[in-house]
Structure 1
Amino acid sequence: MLLEVKCYATLARFQPKENEYHLGPKPMLRDLIVFLGIPEGEVKISFANGVIVGPEYELQEGDRVGLFPAVGGG
């Protein structure tokens, strides 16, 4: 499955170098997060094709995925 994945801020260390993923049939976003080795709970906001999605989102060929950690400021 071809996906465009971007990991932001502290998740940048998990940024994949490739765009092709072997996640099995009907993969969900949570499968991608596990595949990338991101610890459970570190992804706080996720997007697919510019729309906020949850871990149950079923990935589609060609999706553009953005993964964000919790961010603070003040």
Structure 2
Amino acid sequence: MRLEVRLFAYFREGRGKKIFIDDDNISTIKEVLEFINLGEEEISLLLLNGFDGTVHRQLKDGDVLSLFPPVGGG
């Protein structure tokens, strides 16, 4: 399965803007987070193919996952 993971804000530090994963052993968003070393609690917004999702959603070949951290500032 090939996936595209788009990272935003400080998630890009040390990882880049996009990560392409080609691994048949990954089938859920939770497994992707483990693969790129991000905890569920670190994610503020998660989009799967442009739609809100949960970490337990099943993935399919060609999916695009976008991950956003909480917004800071004031």
What is the TM-score normalised by the length of structure 1?
0.81
Q: 1:18 to 1:10 in 2, by over 3 A?
A: closer
Aligned to 1:3: 3
- The alignment's C-alpha RMSD in Å is 2.1
Listed as ranges, the gaps of 5+ residues in structure 2 are none
Instruction: Specify the SS of the correspondent of 1:30.
Output: helix
Aligned to 1:41: 41
Contact 1:23 1:35 in 2 (8 A): no
Q: Which is strand-richer, 1 or 2?
A: 2
Listed as ranges, the gaps of 5+ residues in structure 1 are none
Q: 1:59 to 1:10 in 2, by over 3 A?
A: same
What is the TM-score normalised by the length of structure 2?
0.81
How do 1:20-35 residues align onto structure 2 when only pairs under 5 Å count? Answer: 20-22=21-23, 24=25, 27-35=27-35
